[in-house]
């Protein structure tokens, strides 16, 4: 059948301003910024959300909660002990007390244990006679008295997380790293190397691993499949943390390692967004790191996101899901580059800076 003639001289003819670098990036306006995110999922401030991920995800959790969105909280303590103390012990940081989840493998194994009738035993680290859950070492800053208490605390945590997963309609997950340390005896991905928070580094018991795009895709799809196997309908909104690596164990330069890690994660998100109806992608990475929305938005150290960038990220999210009449901005006391503040972001990775020569 002969092709019908067209008046279009090029497939790029009459595309919107957001499709062209010069118009979209040089002087971004409200229209081009809004075009950064065309959500696949219909959610509202009333939709039950679960938040998880790397350190940057704490910004999303806190601002969504303060703006009145229905952010699930399975292990909240702020009303009992105050917000500052609660956060110090890992409460009210995310939807449950799992701490930072930097990799897709960590999320997969956490969901496996939360939904299992016989989860894996706790992996316990020791420091100065105190004991820590190696899969969330930062939630008990001073550790616990015995390994048995770590096991009990983990069982309670997994039960609370199961309740959150059963309620959630959307999981907002921020991918942070591809570099990871694996416990050789169990195969478990760790949030940080032993010896950073607790435990002792021994190359016979832990190995370094840098995940590939194929592995990230497999882990994210496996997490979704676990939810479906248990009759849970939550879909997954992915983001990529814009925060560069603090340090790399890859043997290369930290700048190149950061580029690899973020590229792999962003490519995995893009593939899932394009091919899988259960996944979507929110461009927090692009908003912070490029000029697409007036950035880049980094503090003076070149690593932490600037409050203006955080506000822009949250505004784009709110505008897409709640409309222009329901803006959401970062709290006025968001001072992410302050060394000591009640709003400080809890992040095991930043502790690696202490080992710099």
Q: What is the pLDDT of residues 168-204, one digit of tens each?
A: 999 999 999 999 999 999 999 999 999 999 999 999 9
Which position has the higher pLDDT, 335 or 44? 44
Q: Give me the phi and psi of 40, to 5 degrees please.
A: -80, -30
Q: What is the pLDDT of residues 5-45, one digit of tens each?
A: 556 789 898 898 888 888 888 777 777 788 889 999 999 99
Cβ–Cβ contacts within 10 Å for residue 270, how many?
Answer: 13
User: How buried is 294 (Cβ within 10 angstroms: 0-12 exposed, 13-18 middle, 19+ buried)?
Assistant: middle
Whether 298 is in a domain gets the answer no
Query: Which residues face 131 on adjacent strands?
Result: 126, 144
Please give the residue range of the domain that contains residue 50. Answer: 40-287
Helix (H, G, I), strand (E, B) or coil at 320: helix
Token output for 32: 């081009």
Q: What is the band of 239 on the pLDDT scale with cuts at 50, 70, 90?
A: very high
Q: What is the band of 343 on the pLDDT scale with cuts at 50, 70, 90?
A: very low
Q: Do residues 180 and 209 make contact, with C-beta atoms less than 8 angstroms apart? A: yes
Whether 148 is in a domain gets the answer yes
Q: What is the pLDDT of residues 58-99, one digit of tens each?
A: 988 988 888 889 999 998 776 666 667 767 777 888 999 999
CA distances from 22 to 19, 38, 290, 313 (A): 9, 21, 14, 22
Average pLDDT score over residue span 259-281? 98
Q: How many helices (H) and strands (E) does the chain have?
A: 11, 9
Whether 97 is in a domain gets the answer yes
Q: What is the tally of structural domains in the chain?
A: 1
Q: What is the pLDDT of residues 91-147, one digit of tens each?
A: 888 999 999 999 999 999 999 999 999 999 999 999 999 999 999 999 999 999 999
User: How buried is 292 (Cβ within 10 angstroms: 0-12 exposed, 13-18 middle, 19+ buried)?
Assistant: buried
- Complete DSSP assignment for 267-281: HHHHHHHHH-TTEEE
The model's pTM is 0.88
Q: What is the pLDDT of residue 304?
A: 84
């Amino acid at each position: 059948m002969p092709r019908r003639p067209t008046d279009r001289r090029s497939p790029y003819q009459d595309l919107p301003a957001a499709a062209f670098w010069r118009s979209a990036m040089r002087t971004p306006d409200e229209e081009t910024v809004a075009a950064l995110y065309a959500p696949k999922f219909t959610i509202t401030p009333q939709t039950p959300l679960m938040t998880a991920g790397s350190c940057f995800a704490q910004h999303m959790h806190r601002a969504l909660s303060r703006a009145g969105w229905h952010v699930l909280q399975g292990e909240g303590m702020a009303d009992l002990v105050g917000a500052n103390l609660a956060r110090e012990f890992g409460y009210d940081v995310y939807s449950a007390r799992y701490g930072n989840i930097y990799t897709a493998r960590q999320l997969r194994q956490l969901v496996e244990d939360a939904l299992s009738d016989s989860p894996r035993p706790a992996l316990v680290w020791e420091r100065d006679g105190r004991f820590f859950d190696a899969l969330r070492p930062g939630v008990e800053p001073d550790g616990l008295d015995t390994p048995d208490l770590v096991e009990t605390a983990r069982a309670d945590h997994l039960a609370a997380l199961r309740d959150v997963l059963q309620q959630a309609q959307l999981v907002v997950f921020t991918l942070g790293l591809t570099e990871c340390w694996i416990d050789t005896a169990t195969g478990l991905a760790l949030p940080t190397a032993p010896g950073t928070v607790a435990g002792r580094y021994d190359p016979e018991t832990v190995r370094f691993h840098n995940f590939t795009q194929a592995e990230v895709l497999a882990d994210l799809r496996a997490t979704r499949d676990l939810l479906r196997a248990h009759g849970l309908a939550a879909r997954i909104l992915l983001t990529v943390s814009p925060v560069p690596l603090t340090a790399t164990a890859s043997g290369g330069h930290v700048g190149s390692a950061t580029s690899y890690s973020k590229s792999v994660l962003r490519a995995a998100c893009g593939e899932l967004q394009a091919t899988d109806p259960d996944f979507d992608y929110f461009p927090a990475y692009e908003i912070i790191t490029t000029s697409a929305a007036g950035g880049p938005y980094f503090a003076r150290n070149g690593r932490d996101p600037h409050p203006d960038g955080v506000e822009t990220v949250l505004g784009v999210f709110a505008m897409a899901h709640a409309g222009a009449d329901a803006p959401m901005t970062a709290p006025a006391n968001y001072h992410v580059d302050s060394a000591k503040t009640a709003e400080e972001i809890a992040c095991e990775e930043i502790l690696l800076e202490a080992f710099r020569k």
